[in-house]
Chains A and B, each alone.
Chain A
């Protein structure tokens, strides 16, 4: 089975919110180490798609296989998938009652049952990787938006996932902080991490992505390498979208 080679395989995925058909027959495979940027107008289903990959959203039809583990109703399957997948959210979703360090040690200590000292050492290593080891003992409320998002990235990395999902990681940031978060993501890409990023940062897509996925109305309209995607889009909808976001 070819799925064993891929990080993510999505076959015939359909999802509804009540009667609303949000994802229509999605088929997508992501190779290990591949960096995918997913873009599209708001309401196109791109966030919903990546939230399906770690089971934050249930799906009604189709198959999702992540690092060989299928997302099914069976006990333990969701947990098995989540063990391999880290996620970064638009609103950071740091835990405001815990320090940056405690945010990072929580899951290693309670999910992986790591001793506190080892978890702290690991967390410091990742806070160092995102260049904010000196903010470790601050609470999220004392950090800037960019710093918070970098803590959120470090927090996801402490679980040592094989795949990272980014759900519009820079959309809630002030313009001057977008760069520091994107730089962190570029550094992460250089380590060979499999990444799926929903983002409107076309510069990031151009330089980092292996392929760009364009979605509209719950469908994948076009998948292409960035060079081709930006210079020679095939579909009318893609052209229209690109003409609106690139001035």
Chain B
């Protein structure tokens, strides 16, 4: 006769004292670590809170407002220069165009990332195909809009333009390169390897510097390439080489039998890649792909060496301004830029985590 099933034993929830004992002071070593961790938090978070909130200057229009707050942040430096931080030196009267581009981007991203909203595919296609064109016209000008030279772009606008162009271009390029590197065609394989290893071997600063300063020397007289455009291309090629290696890692993890099964059913190479191999490989590489995106977003601040004022660059240039010369200006600026970068990167990281969960649901070998 079968043993009758019974319910699992009743679990008694621990009281607070027991919880502390189990989780924080289960041994002498763990107890010491708990106390050490508590001290580190006390020594760092409390002074930071004091500096950023309690002792900070909140209102004013120049350094006079901040000088009395010797040990506090100088927030007026941020609020007074907020326009520059967002737009750089983009013409005042035309900034509404950047606003529209920002709002469209934000709306599109929210629509795509919030679960449960309908029509993700059309919206995604719109964001990928139509948005870049609309944003380009809005930001650059034309079609009746006053042209704004890219030299005047800056701040968050510059950071987002470089990062998004890099992200959007590097993923498809990286996939093609990764497939190329694994190709059985010797020419395709060699070209992919040479391309990937070349770009991975050169520092991004060098690439940017060469794109901005040396490229014009090689071009024939009278022909000039926009400096921002050449920087964007440089960033895209550079990051696609890294992306290729990340995707290749995912491709290598897919068993050979998957490709053989696709072949045996009569699927061609590109069909097998698109429907069988890449969906699995990209899901496996997702954490590293997002890691690359985050790295790319932060690397955009390197464009300051070729004379662009990105988010970090514009904050930094402001700290040198005599009108804002206080002991806390630079700290405030860096803290603000750092916080803004952190929010963007953390957002990407969390969304990737969520996406991993969604993609994992149901299946799994």
Q: Do A and B bind each other?
A: yes
- Chain A contact residues, CB within 8 Å of chain B: 54-56, 79, 82-83, 85-87, 89, 91, 93-97, 106-107, 110-111, 139-142, 152, 155-156, 159
Contact size range, B: 20 to 34
- Asked if B255 CB lies within 8 Å of chain A CBs, one says yes
Contact, CB under 8 Å: B363 / A97 = yes
A79 pairs with B364, CB closer than 8 A: no
Cβ proximity bits B257-285 to A, threshold 8 Å, 1 near / 0 not: 11011111111100100011001100100
Total CB contacts across the A-B interface at under 8 A: 73
Chain A residues with CB under 8 A of B280: 95-97
A85 and B268 alpha carbons, distance in the complex (Å):
15
Q: Establish whether residues B265 and A93, one from each chain, have CB atoms under 8 Å apart when the complex forms.
A: no
Cross-chain contact B264 with A96 (CB below 8 angstroms): no
How far apart sit A56 and B256, CA to CA, in the bound complex (Å)?
11
Say yes or no: is B365 at the interface (Cβ < 8 Å to chain A): yes
Q: Is the beta-carbon distance between B364 and A82 smaller than 8 angstroms? A: no
Least Cβ distance of A51 to chain B in Å? Answer: 8
Q: Are B363 and A96 in contact (CB under 8 A)?
A: yes
Q: How many angstroms from the CA of A94 to the CA of B365 in the assembled complex?
A: 10
Neighbour of B365 across the interface among A106, A140, A155, CB < 8 A: A140
Closest residue of chain B to A108 (Cβ to Cβ) is B265
Interface membership of B362, Cβ < 8 A: yes
- Whether A107 contacts B364 by the Cβ 8 Å rule is no
Chain B residues with Cβ below 8 Å from A106 are 265, 267, 275-276
Further 19 A-B residue pairs, CB within 8 A, beyond A96-B365, A106-B276, A141-B365: A56-B264, A79-B268, A82-B264, A82-B265, A82-B266, A86-B264, A86-B265, A91-B257, A93-B257, A93-B261, A94-B261, A95-B276, A96-B363, A97-B280, A97-B283, A110-B275, A139-B363, A156-B264, A156-B265
User: What separation, in Å, do the CA atoms of A142 and B258 have in the docked complex?
Assistant: 18
Nearest opposing residue in chain B for A139, CB measure: B363
CA distance A85 to B265 in the complex (A): 8
B358 to chain A, nearest CB (A): 12
Find out whether the CB atom of A159 lies under 8 angstroms from the CB atom of B265. yes
Residues of B within 8 A of A93 (CB): 255, 257-258, 260-261
Q: In angstroms, how far is the closest chain A Cβ from the Cβ of B359? A: 8
In the assembled complex, the Cα of A58 lies from the Cα of B208 at a distance in Å of 47
CB of A165, distance to nearest CB on chain B (Å): 8
Identity of the chain B residue whose Cβ is nearest the Cβ of A158 in the assembled complex: B265
Of chain B, the residue at the smallest CB distance from A84 is B266
Question: Is the Cβ of B261 less than 8 Å from the Cβ of A111?
Answer: no
Q: Which residues of A contact B271 (CB under 8 A)?
A: 110-111
Please give, as numbers and ranges, the residues of chain A lying within 8 Å of B362 by CB-CB distance: 139, 141-142
Whether A87 and B264, one on each chain, are in contact in the complex, defined by CB atoms closer than 8 angstroms, is yes
List B contacts of A141 (CB < 8 A).
362-365
CB contacts under 8 Å to A, within B227-277, are 255, 257-258, 260-268, 271, 275-276
Chain B 275-315: CB-based contact to A (< 8 A → 1; otherwise 0): 11001100100000000000000000000000000000000
Q: Which 6 pairs across A and B sit closest by C-beta, in order of nearness?
A: A93-B261, A139-B363, A107-B265, A93-B257, A87-B264, A111-B266
Contact of A83 among B262, B266, B268, B365 (CB under 8 A): B266
Question: Can you list, as one digit per residue, whether each of B347-365 has a CB less than 8 Å from chain A (1) or not (0)?
Answer: 0000000000000001111
Distance to closest chain A CB from B67 (angstroms)? 61
Give the shortest distance, in Å, between A189 (CB) and chain B (any CB): 20
**Which residue of A85, A86, A89, A96 has the most chain B CB atoms within 10 A of its CB atom?**
A96
Taking CB as reference atom, which chain A residue is nearest B257? A93
- B258 and A95 contacting across the interface, CB-CB below 8 Å: yes
| A and B contact pairs by CB, cutoff 8 A, 29 listed | A56-B264, A86-B265, A87-B261, A89-B257, A89-B260, A91-B257, A93-B255, A93-B257, A93-B258, A95-B258, A95-B262, A95-B276, A95-B280, A96-B364, A96-B365, A97-B279, A97-B280, A97-B283, A106-B265, A106-B267, A107-B267, A110-B275, A111-B265, A111-B266, A111-B267, A141-B362, A141-B363, A142-B363, A159-B266
- How far apart sit A85 and B260, CA to CA, in the bound complex (Å)? 13
B267/A110 in contact, CB under 8 A: yes
Residues of chain A with a CB closer than 8 A to B283's CB: 97
In angstroms, Cα B265 to Cα A87, docked, is 8
How far is it, in angstroms, between the C-alpha of A96 and the C-alpha of B264 when the chains are bound? 17
B284 to chain A, nearest CB (A): 11
Residues of B within 8 A of A55 (CB): 263
